[in-house]
Amino acid sequence: MDESGHADQNDAENSNVQVAKRRSPYSLILLLLLFIGGVFTYYNWSQEEDELLKTAKEYLETVRTGNLTNAYYTYTSAGFQKETSLKNFVASVKGNLLFEKMGSLHIQSNEAAEGKGTLKGFITTTDGFQAPFTLWLVKEDDEWKIDRFEAGASVKALEKQKVLEEVRVPIMAQLRAIRNGALDNAYFEETADEFKSATPIDNFKRFLGSFPEIQESRHEEFIEVNSRGGQATVELAVYTPSKSMKLVYEMIQDKGRWKIFSMQVLPVENPKEISSEDLQSIERAVQKQLALLSSGKLEEAYELTSKAFKAGTSKIEFDSFIKEHPFFEKNEGSKTKKWIDRNIGKALVEIQEAGDVYAVDFTLFKENDEWKIWGMEVRQVLEDGQPNAEEDQRFVSHLLRVIQEGKLQEAYDLSMAQDFKKVTSFEEFKNFVEVSPFFKSSWTAKLFERATLNDKAIVKVEFVSGEESSPEVLEFDLVKEESKWKVVGIKVLDISSDDSEEEVEGANLDLALELLNGEKSAQGTYRVKSSLSTLQAILNFEGAAKGEVLGIQLIHLESGHRLGEKKFVLDKGGKGSLPLFITIPDGSLATGKYELLISDRRGKHSFLIESMP
């Protein structure tokens, strides 16, 4: 601007330059900060994903090489280890085709944000099979840990194919022996010991004689296979030049080999044969059978059964079965629920006798256009005249009654599942019952919650010793074995009372440990055998606050591995005792020194345990 107050072009340019010069330092600083921040954010994001990928690859490689203990303790999260024991982890990996035949690893996407990560891809097996998978990871102490692993549906198809290849061997060997007339070989070489115990060879030969189509068959077709826990069900069809027949094999693993546990004949499906009159025909067939049994006419009742029933069950065995269940002859009335599934007739019959209600499961199929009894099974005994009571709840009620009566051997032998017995001896079960107060007759038990899915059930029982006491809750995990409920696990659930926030200010908590399956040395160290599968103890406390939470951990001092982690809520203050059970993940406690660490709101208490050969 000149002295006259006019602005010329140069002034404007100078003014603009001056403004630009005044803004430049701030703009540059801002841009520089944004640039550095962007680079830093990108670097962190990139580094997170690199670490995520590195952890995933190292974990899968460790699993592939069979170093499962290292994979479990080094790479899995605390949450994973809480949900899955080392023993269950090893069992899930061993025999898994995806890990057995793991070849190359292909990552399709990976994400990391706020301490959580997801990685998706697929594994190409050594024989060219591609199996998709997803890994979920969480960050713990600045390290990525595996929180969950899930394989795609195609992995199940791969495993199913493997099982099919394995079970084909004994089935085909038996079919070849039958077709060649070598029935002794078909019986002795391919069937399990349980099959031979339940089915004498004469019954086996009579069964085959009743169905000559098996021996006359020329080829076969495997239709379906399902397996779980060392058992498999195989459905196949055999074909003669003029007809076909369906067979169902139940297989079990015996000394590392698949063996035939049972074999049945299924009617060939033909939906057009089912009419609206079939249900009424099933009802008539069952009621006629029951009327004959009630009249004591066992021979006539036996003749009404199907050819398959007679082939597998002799007249003497039939008579013995009926006499073992006298309610058949004292039948005071019944009602039937009936349905048809894949041309197989089913009838669940409730039979009343002397105020009790019994449930019998009938299976029927058509023979010469007439419904015939194919199988009979007494599924349950309904107690106290309550036909609508649930079978799993009655089982638990009966088990508790047996335990309270002191019949522990009977409870263990008849009510515990095979998987339970593998990890828990009778002595361990007995110790658990004896140190647990709620099994005593002075405690009142109430079944208050249940969940059932297929052959598994969970039943929760609430125990109360008096009006003023807080309840204890036990969870019974059940599984079906040979159509009967069995206990596969018992848990003492941690429940917080309504007074859990009450505290005793200034009280010091004193703890004393009484080891049930070990001994205390003069130096104060607790010594146990390395073969120990469950650490059993009583924790005596004094000066506790009602509702106080105790955290309990068993730590291997050399490696720092935590082998057991539990939390308990004390239902009363002052003085008391708490039964303590810690299951060892590997099934045995490796030799070495361990710390049993017990923490409360005021501090920590430590007990030294030494595992010896």
Q: What is the pLDDT of residues 218-269, one digit of tens each?
A: 888 888 888 876 788 898 988 888 878 888 898 988 777 899 988 887 755 4
User: How far lies 450's CA from each of 39, 394, 463, 471, 521, in Å?
Assistant: 55, 12, 15, 17, 45
Residues 60-76 have pLDDT tens digits of 888 888 888 888 999 99
> What pLDDT is stored for residue 300 in this prediction?
92
Encoded amino acid at 600, one letter: D
391-493: which CATH number, 3.30.70.580, 3.30.9.10, 3.30.70.20, 3.10.450.100?
3.10.450.100
Residues 523-554 have pLDDT tens digits of 788 888 877 777 777 778 888 777 677 888 88
Tokens of 14: 């100078």
Contact (Cβ atoms closer than 8 angstroms) between residue 541 and residue 511: yes
CATH of domain 272-385: 3.10.450.100
Residues 6+ apart with CB under 8 A from 601: 503, 545, 548, 549
Residue 334 has pLDDT above 80, yes or no: no
> What pLDDT is stored for residue 85 in this prediction?
87
Q: What value does the mean pLDDT take over residues 122-148? A: 82
**Mean pLDDT score of the chain, rounded to an integer?**
75
12-151: which CATH number, 3.10.450.100, 3.30.300.180, 3.75.10.10, 3.50.50.60?
3.10.450.100
Q: What value does the mean pLDDT take over residues 34-38? A: 42
Tell the residue number behind the tokens 């039937």, with chain if given: 336
Residues 387-421 have pLDDT tens digits of 334 567 778 878 888 888 888 888 898 889 888 88
Q: How is residue 498 annotated by DSSP? A: T
- Give yes or no on whether 391-493 and 510-612 have one common fold: no
d(CA 337, CA 474): 34
* Fold of the domain spanning 157-266: Nuclear Transport Factor 2; Chain: A, (3.10.450)
User: How far lies 595's CA from each of 603, 604, 607, 608, in Å?
Assistant: 15, 12, 6, 5
In the chain, the largest separation of any two C-alpha atoms, in whole Å, equals 136
Residue 577 has pLDDT above 80, yes or no: no
State percent of the chain over pLDDT 90. Answer: 8
Tell the residue number behind the tokens 């102490």, with chain if given: 141
Contact (Cβ atoms closer than 8 angstroms) between residue 222 and residue 164: yes
User: Following DSSP, what letter does each residue of 274-323 receive, concatenated?
Assistant: --TTHHHHHHHHHHHHHHHHHTT-HHHHHHTB-HHHHHHS-HHHHHHHHH
Say if residue 339 is exposed, middle or buried (CB neighbours under 10 Å; 0-12, 13-18, 19+). Answer: exposed
Contact (Cβ atoms closer than 8 angstroms) between residue 250 and residue 230: no
User: How far lies 467's CA from each of 445, 471, 544, 577, in Å?
Assistant: 13, 10, 21, 20
Size of the chain, expressed as the number of residues it contains:
613
Q: What value does the mean pLDDT take over residues 464-470? A: 58
- CATH architecture for segment(s) 510-612: Sandwich (2.60)
Residue 512 has pLDDT above 90, yes or no: no
For the chain, domain boundaries: 12-151, 157-266, 272-385, 391-493, 510-612
Q: What pairing do the DSSP bridges indicate for beta strands 143-151 and 219-228?
A: unpaired
